[in-house]
Amino acid sequence: MKRTLIIGASTNPERYSYKAAHKLTENGHEICMIGPRQGELCNTPIHTDLIPFENIHTVTLYVSAKNQIPYYEYIIQLHPQRVIFNPGTENEEFAKKLESLGIIPEVACTLVLLSTNMY
């Protein structure tokens, strides 16, 4: 199972980050979450601070490219194996930086990857 950090997590059932959190846990993946507001989702806290989580395999982004900038160094310091740029979060600049550091940037939809067993 792939320990996954959701950036842009929300307790709003209409948000894709909410749906992804549920799908990830249903598929047995441990989740960690950072969002604009504290809360709880899938019995897991949503943090507003940049917590130094350990053993993160995948970071899945639900924030726009311009809102990713404050997360660049934080994500790099987590040393994930990959970062998923969900629809609407594509960021060529950050993707190139990740790739140069040996982190796989993947432009994809977490929900689709999970539903097709490609996660």
| Mean pLDDT of successive 10-residue stretches along the chain, which has 119 residues | 97 98 98 98 98 98 98 98 98 98 98 97
Q: Tally the domains of the chain.
A: 1
pLDDT of residue 68: 98
pLDDT of residue 82: 98
Tell me the pairing of strands 44-47 and 39-41: antiparallel
| Tens digit of each residue's pLDDT (9 = 90 or more) over 6-40 | 999 999 999 999 999 999 999 999 999 999 999 99
Q: Which amino acid is at 90?
A: E
Look up the domain containing 110 and give its range: 4-115
Residue 103 host element (H or E): none
Mean pLDDT of the chain: 98
Distance from C-alpha of 88 to C-alpha of 67, rounded to nearest angstrom: 12
Q: What token pair was written down for 115?
A: 């539903």
The domain spanning residue 39 has which CATH number?
Answer: 3.40.50.720
Q: Report the percentage of the chain scoring pLDDT > 70.
A: 100
pLDDT of residue 33: 98
As a whole number of Å, the CA-based R_g of the chain is 13
Sign of CA dihedral 40, 65, 30, 32: negative
